[in-house]
Amino acid sequence: MKVSTKWQGGFAFTMDNGKGYDLPMDAGTTAGGNGEGVSPMEALLGSLAGCMGIDIFMILKPYQEKIERIELETDGERNEEPPKYFKKIQVTVHVDGDIPASRIWRAVNLSNDKYCSVANSLKAELSYKVVLNGEEVNQA
């Protein structure tokens, strides 16, 4: 899986997934941007909600005809000092329909523990490459 994220000027970037879908990102006005897109941290919260939402829908598929709404709200508490990572994230899952609560909790727990790649990537090992003027450069 690969995406391309290109600078648009100022603090604005656009992510392109290579399949015709773009995600504009920008820093908020208090951080010096124009606020003309989602912030990267908002995108992370949305990615977590989207990943879990897909899982929950798939796990609740036997109740598909009874599902009227699935909505996930993610509320992140960030570290005060840089790096301002998420210390805590509260995910609130709203489901409307004739579905037993035990089934919804089962879906949420399976998503968190087994299926949601985003939730399980938040503590990922990161590695980096730098390409300067078309050539990869090593860290000095």
What's the start-to-end Cα distance of the chain, in Å?
A: 29
Per-residue pLDDT of the chain in tens (140 residues, 90 and over written 9): 999 999 999 999 999 999 999 999 999 999 999 999 999 999 999 999 999 999 999 999 999 999 999 999 999 999 999 999 999 999 999 999 999 999 999 999 999 999 999 999 988 787 888 889 988 888 77
Q: Decide if domain 40-137 falls under CATH 3.30.420.40.
A: no
Which uninterrupted H or E stretch holds 131? strand 130-132
Domain spans in the chain, listed from the N-terminal domain onward: 1-38, 40-137
Q: Do 103 and 95 contact (CB within 8 A), yes or no?
A: no
**What pLDDT does residue 131 have?**
85
**What pLDDT does residue 123 have?**
80
Does residue 100 have a cis bond before it (omega within 30 degrees)?
A: no
**What pLDDT does residue 129 have?**
85
Q: Do 42 and 68 contact (CB within 8 A), yes or no?
A: no
